[in-house]
Amino acid sequence: MTLQERLSLLRRRSGLTSVELAAIYCVTRMTIFNWSTPGRRKPRGLLGPRAEQVTTGLLTALQRGLLPLSKDLSKEQRSTRVKKMRDLLDPDNER
């Protein structure tokens, strides 16, 4: 399965918004759209391997039942969870 297919699967099943996914990947919402849309730009350079790593981590969370996030979570709770996922999946990335 290509990165594009895996990211599309994540967008459908994770319950995460494009903005939340962008925060986890440390990219813009438009970048998430481009990566998951056929015929659009794909991650390259340093983003390629990092995108693969984050996608694999999120798919693992989905398989283990850690995603989707509960709809009962407040906006603050969702934001906190998204930040924790970002930090766990890419601990070396400085913000």
Instruction: Write the CA distances from 79 to 10, 35, 39, 47, integer angstroms.
Output: 18, 22, 31, 23
Per-residue pLDDT tens listing for the chain (95 residues): 888 888 889 989 999 999 999 999 999 999 998 888 888 777 777 678 888 889 999 999 999 998 998 889 999 999 999 999 999 887 666 55
Instruction: Report whether 6 contacts 59 (CB < 8 A).
Output: yes
The span from the first CA to the last CA of the chain, in angstroms, equals 30
Domain ranges of the chain: 3-89
Instruction: Report whether 58 contacts 89 (CB < 8 A).
Output: yes
User: What is the per-residue pLDDT for 42?
Assistant: 75
What does the angle CA 95 – CA 85 – CA 19 come to, to the nearest 5 degrees? 75
Q: What is the dihedral of CA 77, 87, 48, 40, to 10 degrees?
A: 20
Q: What's 68-81 look like in SS3? A: CCCCCCCHHHHHHH
